[in-house]
Every structure is written in C-alpha cells, then in structure tokens.
Structure 1
Amino acid sequence: MKGSKQQEENARRNKVTIRDIARLANVAPSTVSRALSGQPGVSEATRARLLQVAKDMGYEVPPVEGQRGNRRRRGRLGKTIGLVWTNTPATVIYQQWEANVLAGIVSRAGEENCRVVVDIIERGGDVAKAADILDSTTEGIIVMGSRPDQPIPDWMRAQPSRIVFVQRNVVSANISSVLANDRRGGFLAAEYLAKLGHRDIALISHSTDASEPLVAREQGFREGLRQFGLDVPPEWTLYTHEWGFEPGRAAADRLLRLDKLPTAIFAATDRFAIGALQRLTSAGLSVPDDISIVGFDDIELSSLVDPPLTTVRLPTFEIGREAAGLLLHLQSEKEYRPRQVYLEVQLVVRDTSGPPAK
C-alpha cells in the first residue's frame, strides 16, 4: 500500500508544468523559465523563490546548455531539443513574445525529460551558422525569428523531420511549422472596428518584406475591411522599417500633420500601438473618445498602459509547447510528412476602442 501511494504521488508530481509553477507564484511563465534555466533577467531573490516553489511542487528542472555543471552531466540527461533563435543578443531578455515561446518550449520539453540548448544568432544573420547544434545527441531543432527572405539551408532540407519553424511557413521546403493565425487576427480587428461604426481607419505596420506574421495581419485586416466595403487610403497606410515604440510615435506624428485624422488605428504590434497612444494623448487627443486604437500581440504592457489597450492576443506560450511537442512527435513517425499547425488568436477588448465620435 505504501509503495502504491508513493507511485501515485510520483505520477502527480510528474504532471507539474512551468505554467503550474507560474500560476502558483503569480508570475509569467517566461519568468519561471528564465529562473529555472539560469538565464539573465530575473533577480536572485525571485530565482530562489521560484526554485523553492518548483521544488515544493516536485518539478524536476530540465537543464539548459550553459548552466553550471551541464557539460559534466551530459551523458545522463536524456534527450535534447535545440532552439535556434534569431534575435539581437543584447535585447534577448526584453523580448516578451519570444521569451513566452521559449517558456512553452521548456515546459513541453520538461514533460519529456528533455533539456533545451539555445543558440542565439544576430537578427538578420544566417541560420545556416547553427548547423553544429544539430548533432547525434539532439532530437531536432526549433527555429524562431527567421525572416521570410532568409533561405532555408541545405542541411535543414536534408533532414526535415528534425526541424520545426515557429511563425514562418516553410512548407515549400518540406519542413513543418507552428504559427498563430495572424491573418484571422487582422480580420477580427477590422471586423470589430467596422461594427463599432468606424469608416476612417489607419494602419501602422512594418515594411511588408520583413515579417511574415505582420504581412498576414495586414492581409487579414484589409480582407476584413473589404467585407464592409472599406479600405485604408495611402495617406493613412503607415509603414516603418524599425521595431519598438518609437515607430508608433512617429506614425502618429505623421497622422497629426494631416488635415483629417482617422477615427481609428490598427497597429500590427502592441508596441506600435502603445507608441501611437502615447503620442496622440500627449497631443491632447482622448482615446477612445477622439480616436480608437487596436494593437496585436497582447504583451504584458498592453494591460498596464492608460487606458489599457484593446488588442489581439497571440498564444505565444502555446506556440512554444506545440512546437516542442510536434518536434518530438515527428521523431517517432515511421514516414515523415510536413505539418503546418495554426493556433487561434483572440480579440481582447479593453479601453482604447469605442464607437467614433458623432
């Protein structure tokens, strides 16, 4: 009887995930992931608290390459998943979207007793440089942050069952990917604004060749507007070649110089939306009384700004979990076939949107 109870207890503990720890500790899953994997961006006090919570819940921390002592224990760690992450190394710990995806990867990998090896490549760099991460000790790799204009290296094409891309459709290369339904999100934003009564709507986005998800968001947005006989005129179509909050401020500045303002703005990222919100309110406009704003991503800051931002929520943590789960599943298949997995998004209505002023 005692042995049976112990087995039940072990089974219960093995089901604990990073999301469970985050919920109990009242922090984001990405914070738990960084704390348990020894990554920067978490205070030592928070790290110690989360390690204790994980220990109390019976969670076995999956080691990450670079953590102290990992190399000495490599022979008995079990399976390994590689993550090739195209980003700017100096700002990695501030990228909430990618951090949440990483947390999802680590969460799913931990359930299979997998460790995660992370290889960060300078944004715009060649993912082919990460070829050495895929060796005989690695189940496969997940690629995050790859741009649509970056070629797929031959070594990936040669072993597609060991590769999964995040937020990039690479079916033409016979490689699997996990993506959010960004096009649907853009459509939902357009439909929502049009049903509120808006007819004069501006668009803020990145240059169309830089980001596959943002291209899909704009396509879905314009498709949604067409359902109501609407379109975005050229003077209200604002593209930027930069990322962050400042492009949103600059786009709002351009709108403020026009003779006529739109009654609503759809920004393809929350950072663009928040930048525009700050500039418009500083110019004396009331949001949403004078102009409505809808963003995309639902980053943590979107619920903290004043007023809280209406946005489209991206399932970032779930994307990471799905990518890791798909990669591991592909290793057990007898006959490989590529898969494109789309996860649904959700419109989150807060306080930056309302009917147009009469």
Structure 2
Amino acid sequence: MGEKITIRDVAKHAGVSAASVSYVLNGINKVSDETKERILTAVKELNYEPNLTAVSLSKQKSNMIGVMFPLTDDSLSTIFKDNHYYSEMISGIEYVIRKHGYDLVISGASSPADCLKWIRTRNIDGLLFLGAFPHRLYEKMKALSNPIVLVDTYERYERDYHHISVDDEYGGYLATTHLVNLGHKEIAFVAHHLVNSPVDKKRYIGYAKALKEAGITPSKTFVFEVNESSFDNGYNLGNKLLQDYKDIRAVFASSDTLALGIMKALQEKGKKIPQDYSIVGFDDITFSSYASPSLTTIRQDVFNKGVVAATSVIQAIEHRFSTLQHVKLSVELIIRDSTAKRG
C-alpha cells in the first residue's frame, strides 16, 4: 500500500503553497481561478482524499443533518417497518440532503438531556423533528443555535421554530364528507392518541365538523385510539369493530397503515369491502394503491413533505433566516375502490 497523499503533496504537484490548497479545500475564496483549477487538477490526479473531520472542524460545519423521532420505548427499531409513512418521508429528506452534499443521521429522543447530548456530540448543522415531542424537550432546544425544523407539530412552539405541516383538519373534513355523501351516518374515527398527537387532533376536528354539517352529532362511542399507528393495531381494531360495534359500517382511519390493517381483519372474517364496509385512510402511501381493493384515502404527498422539510432546514443552515418559515401543504381526496354507497 502506498503512502497516504497529504496536502503538501498536492501543493508540490500544483506548484502552490499548502495554505492555498487548504483555502480551496475549505471553500475560502483567497486564490485566483487559475490557481484553484491547478489545485483541483492536482487533487484529482493524485486521488487525494481530504480528512473530512478536519475540514468540518476548520469550517465549524459538519455537513450532517439530524432527524429525530419521538421515542417512548425501543420503537425506533421498528418504526420504519410498521409505518411506511416515515419511510416515504425519510426518502424525500435523504434525496434532498444528499443532493446538497449533506449526510443524514437518525435517532430517537426519549428525554431532553439525551437529545441535547446526541446533538452536541455530533456537531449537527441542523435538525428535523418528526412528530410530537414532550413540551420540555422543545423548551430545552431553544438553547441551541442549530436551525430546527418541526414537522407535524401544532403547538405554541411554532413561534420559536420553522414548521412544516399539511392541512390535516381539511383532510379529516374531506374524508368524512365523502363517507357522509355515500349515505353513512355511523362513521368510526380511528386515531393514534388524540391528546398526544396534534396531527390526529386536527383530523378529528375535521371529522367532527363534517358530521355536524350533515346534522350528525359526533359520538365518543365511534372514536377509537391506538397506542401506535401500525398495521397490527389496525388489524386488532378491525376485529374489535366486528365483535362489539356492529352498527358501524364506515371507518375513517388517521393513517393508511391503520386503514389497511382494519380492512385485512374485516376481510378475513368474510366481510366485503366496500359492499359491507367503506374504509378511508390518510397519507396515500404507495401500498394504498396496491391493496385489494385499492384504498380510498386523503393524499398528502409524503415524499414531497420530506423534500420540503429538508429544503427548509438546508436553507436555514446556509442563510440563517431572520424570520421563521411556516409551510402548510395541501391535501386531496383520492377515491378508489374501498368506499361505496351504503346499501
């Protein structure tokens, strides 16, 4: 194995000083274009690989963007397996940050202290927080100088951080209005923690608004909460509906993953979708169109949501905005084969 190429070797090859090479590698505009070209040619010819740690320290920039998930137990290990919403959003985030020369690091936050330690030991340039976290964590994060973008958070902390969301309330309204227009009155709403999930709370508000407009009084009897937005929880809830809530013939689930689990349970018990039950989801993840029958859902472009979130944090890192960015993305009803007029 040959000796490792150094900055001095590059400088000698290009006929310049080591300082000039350092300027170019660190993006400091202190040399002429002609000198810069000679240095870059030397780097290529010698296959020189700069020490990225040293470069990041000299720039006081790591080129790393962190993504944090709320963690109450060891759920991060299964979060991408159980909930494809996150997988699709991470794909959008990764696509953008890689294109801009950043690296992605992912972790779960179970306490403010652990979160701060994780951020500081990795010299993270910027952060994306996906989902709702304990209030004390948002308070602790104010001490950081790192740009922070919140995704899917409807709290008072929007005044302190950049924020990306979709029109969740309108999505809940669209889904429920669609079922009402098909003649359904006993419509279940399935959510992941109405108290702890501000997104589901907004979707419930839209659900209740649509019912009231149709002259239907929202009933707590028809509202179901699960501890995680997973296929298995949807499946278990579907069996519960069959056993204990025989009047319900329509379901609006706050995620496609839950909706698909519910649909699977109903079908296994011989129920036909949509003849016996109409099911509407939320997200329009890829699997929704592949299901049998294909799932009627509220489309939020999850991949694009990740793209917008990543773009926002990169802009905040590179331009240090004096004003906070708040972006609300649109939603639309996608009618497929899982809903029909009540017979």
TM-score over 0.5 for the pair: yes
Secondary structure of residue in 1 paired with 2:263: helix
Deviation at 1:153, TM superposition (A): 4.5
- AA aligned to 2:98 is G
Deviation at 1:332, TM superposition (A): 5.0
Determine the structure 1 residue equivalent to 2:77. Answer: 90
Q: Residues 161, 80 of structure 1: CA spacing in aligned structure 2 closer, same or farther, 3 A cutoff?
A: closer
| Residue 184 (1) aligns with residue 170 (2) | yes
The CA distance in 1 between the partners of 2:320 and 2:286, in whole Å, is: 41
Deviation at 1:356, TM superposition (A): 0.5
Single out whichever of 90-99 and 308-317 deviates more from structure 2. Answer: 90-99
- In the TM superposition, 1:9-88 aligns within 5 A as 72-76=51-55, 79-87=63-71, 88=75
| CA distances 1:223-260 after superposition (whole Å, capped 9, x unpaired) | 12222222343332222234422332333333323474
Determine the structure 1 residue equivalent to 2:338. Answer: 352
Q: Residues 218, 136 of structure 1: CA spacing in aligned structure 2 closer, same or farther, 3 A cutoff?
A: same
What is the CA RMSD across the aligned residues, in angstroms?
2.8
Determine the structure 2 residue equivalent to 1:103. Answer: 91
Deviation at 1:160, TM superposition (A): 6.5
Determine the structure 1 residue equivalent to 2:150. Answer: 165
8 Å CA contact retained: 1:161, 1:330: no
8 Å CA contact retained: 2:284, 2:297: yes
Secondary structure of residue in 2 paired with 1:355: coil
Determine the structure 2 residue equivalent to 1:121. Answer: 108
Q: Residues 80, 296 of structure 1: CA spacing in aligned structure 2 closer, same or farther, 3 A cutoff?
A: same
Determine the structure 2 residue equivalent to 1:211. Answer: 197
8 Å CA contact retained: 1:160, 1:176: no
Q: 2:266 aligns with which of 272, 280, 304?
A: 280
Deviation at 1:283, TM superposition (A): 2.3
The CA distance in 1 between the partners of 2:283 and 2:79, in whole Å, is: 17
8 Å CA contact retained: 1:249, 1:275: yes
Deviation at 1:85, TM superposition (A): 3.1
Determine the structure 1 residue equivalent to 2:14. Answer: none
Deviation at 1:334, TM superposition (A): 6.3
- Structure 2 residues not aligned, in runs of 5+: 1-48, 57-61
- Structure 1 residues not aligned, in runs of 5+: 1-69
The CA distance in 2 between the partners of 1:314 and 1:134, in whole Å, is: 33
8 Å CA contact retained: 1:296, 1:313: yes
TM-score, length of structure 2 as denominator length: 0.73
Q: 1:241 aligns with which of 227, 241, 256?
A: 227
Single out whichever of 232-241 and 342-351 deviates more from structure 2. Answer: 232-241
Deviation at 1:216, TM superposition (A): 1.3
8 Å CA contact retained: 2:80, 2:86: no
Q: Residues 71, 82 of structure 1: CA spacing in aligned structure 2 closer, same or farther, 3 A cutoff?
A: farther
| CA distances 1:37-90 after superposition (whole Å, capped 9, x unpaired) | xxxxxxxxxxxxxxxxxxxxxxxxxxxxxxxxx995334577332222335232
Deviation at 1:339, TM superposition (A): 2.7
The CA distance in 1 between the partners of 2:234 and 2:63, in whole Å, is: 43
Deviation at 1:93, TM superposition (A): 4.1
Q: Residues 336, 135 of structure 1: CA spacing in aligned structure 2 closer, same or farther, 3 A cutoff?
A: farther
The CA distance in 2 between the partners of 1:342 and 1:160, in whole Å, is: 25
8 Å CA contact retained: 2:168, 2:199: yes
The CA distance in 2 between the partners of 1:350 and 1:246, in whole Å, is: 23
